Amino acid sequence: MDLGRGEGRRGVGANREDEKQKGQENTALRTCKQSTLADVRAPCYSSEHPCIGATTELARKAALRPQSDLCGTVCPSSRSQRRCCHIFSGAVSPAVMGLDQCVVLAACTAVEPVLKLSPVDPCMNSETADAIIRKALTEEKRVSTKTSAADLVTETDHLVEDLIISELRERFPSHRFIAEEAAASGAKCVLTHNPTWIIDPIDGTCNFVHRFPTVAVSIGFAVRQELEFGVIYHCTEERLYTGRRGGGAFCNGQRLRVSGETDLSKALVLTEIGPKRDPATLKLFLSNMERLLHAKAHGVRVIGSSTLALCHLASGAADAYYQFGLHCWDLAAATVIIREAGGIVIDTSGGPLDLMACRVVAASTREMAMLIAQALQTINYGRDDEK
Ligand code: IPD
């Protein structure tokens, strides 16, 4: 931002004020650069604004600052710089940034450090979500079941969820949270107009239990019921997928694009089984798969993590995804990433996505999405907001 703009008109007094303010901000940024990750949460975007934990002016300046500067603010190591702050790319023009966008920007700033520094990083906070998950992946786990014998949870799911929520709540006390394990313990999943974080602490828990290394942390963020950004971290491959409404989708800084395939007979389709295993549900699940194979899809794959399957679609490595029985925390972040990669996310009826309806078709094109929606028979899983 051009801090000198308008100097001539406002005279020397205003100029000194500008210099003073600039000096204070530079001091704040320098403090951040010298501090450890654990310290970064608080001082970078100070708590002067009671609602968002960031001054509107600082948030606007953050939107203008180049990525490398922002990365330096978060963590000076070059390894981290490569993976930091991708959701800032293509940020909304500060001239049109209203309070909602400032909320989003402040939220973007906060989320990545909570997720994703590696244990070998000199700025490491040993309590980051990905470090906890990667360490626990190969260890013995205490496993419990939830809605069915195939719906698993471990102490690490709880630990990571608690960590993410407590870090974010400290920064944003007025925000709401919808999170998988809290919901399993009876918390209501209601998406209001308030800023809301939608969290899956470990997506692919069954993989995690079996040490199958396809596991992710997924965090979506909505304001006024609109999904604003999503971050999905593939813990074992250290891939950070990010998408911000209007700002594009990225994986470790590389722009994501869907394949653009329209023809189901040339498609690689991904799905997940879902937790119900009663004979009627399994029959419908298998028959849906059979219908797509009869339509001559090249293949149908099940990888055990709906968020990472959706990221494959966003990156063009698959052409479509469908599922009955996934939840809002499986979908929230991925939906933004796919849309920003040029893809489509709709309800299995062919209508608009209903985040709480526990069903989805996502595809590289609308044509492909509609072909799949027409082929599917519905499996009823109820709604997240009615449980
Ligand atoms: C599950 C996984 C699974 C899918 C389920 C999801 P979780 O999430 O993504 O592949 O079939 O519908 O709920 O329980 O591992 O977080």
Taking only the tens place, the pLDDT of each residue in 204-217 is 999 999 999 999 99
Please confirm, yes or no, whether 157 is among the known catalytic residues. Answer: no
The predicted pLDDT at position 7 comes to: 30
Q: What is the pLDDT of residue 293?
A: 98
178 CA to middle of ligand 1, Å? 16
Parallel/antiparallel/unpaired status of strands 254-255 and 248-251 = antiparallel
As a whole number, mean pLDDT of residues 144-156 equals 95
CA distance 359 to 336: 16
Among the ranges 21-30, 85-94, 109-118, which has the highest mean pLDDT value? 109-118
* Cβ of 330 less than 6 Å from ligand 1: yes
DSSP collapsed to 3 states, 45-80 = CCCCCCCCCCCHHHHHHHHHCCHHHHHHHHCCCHHH
Which pLDDT score, from 0 to 100, does residue 127 have?
65
Instruction: Give the pLDDT score at 81.
Output: 37
More confident: 167 or 55 = 167
Of 73, 205, 242, 307, the catalytic one is 205
Q: Which of 52, 133, 198, 202 is catalytic?
A: 202
Told to judge if 100 belongs to the known catalytic residues of this protein, a careful annotator would answer no
Query: Chain-centre distance of CA 175, in angstroms?
Result: 16
Residue 379 falls in the annotated catalytic set: no
In the reported structure, the alpha carbon of residue 272 is separated from the centroid of ligand 1 by a whole-number distance in angstroms of 8
Question: What rounded mean pLDDT belongs to the chain?
Answer: 79
Q: Is 180 a catalytic site residue?
A: yes
**Which residue type sits at 80?**
S
341 phi/psi in degrees, rounded to 5 = -90, 5
Is the pLDDT reported for residue 347 higher than 50?
Answer: yes
Neighbour-count burial of 221, counting CB atoms closer than 10 A to its CB (0-12 exposed, 13-18 middle, 19+ buried): buried
Catalytic residue among 167, 180, 228, 319: 180
Nearest CA to ligand 1 atom 13: 326
Contact status, residue 121 vs residue 223, Cβ threshold 8 Å: no
Q: What is the largest CA-CA distance in the chain?
A: 79
Is the C-beta atom of 274 inside 6 A of ligand 1? Answer: yes
Give the separation between CA 160 and CA 64, rounded to whole angstroms: 32
205 part of the active site: yes
The answer, yes or no, to whether any atom of ligand 1 lies below 6 A from the CB of 305, is yes
Measured in Å, residue 305 CA sits from the centre of ligand 1 at 6
Report which of 240, 265, 261, 230 is spatially closest to residue 340, judged by C-alpha positions: 230
Q: What is the pLDDT of residues 95-126, one digit of tens each?
A: 556 778 778 888 887 887 776 543 334 444 45
Other Cβ atoms closer than 10 A to 55? 18
pLDDT of 131 above 60: yes
30 pLDDT exceeds 50? Answer: no
More confident residue, 84 or 328: 328
d(CA 33, CA 77): 10
- Is the confidence at residue 142, as pLDDT, over 60? yes
Active site residue 200: yes
Percent of the chain past pLDDT 90, that is, above it, reads 63
Structure pTM? 0.78
**pLDDT: which is higher, 253 or 208:** 208
Where residue 50 falls (left for φ over 0; alpha for ψ -120 to 50; beta otherwise) is: alpha
Give the three-state DSSP class for 271: strand
Return the top range by mean pLDDT from 14-28, 78-92, 254-268.
254-268
pLDDT tens-digit readout, 56-81: 444 444 444 433 322 222 233 333 33
| H helix or E strand, kind and range, residue 193 | none
- Report, as an integer, the average pLDDT of 251-279: 96
Ligand 1 pocket residue status of 354, Cβ below 6 Å: no
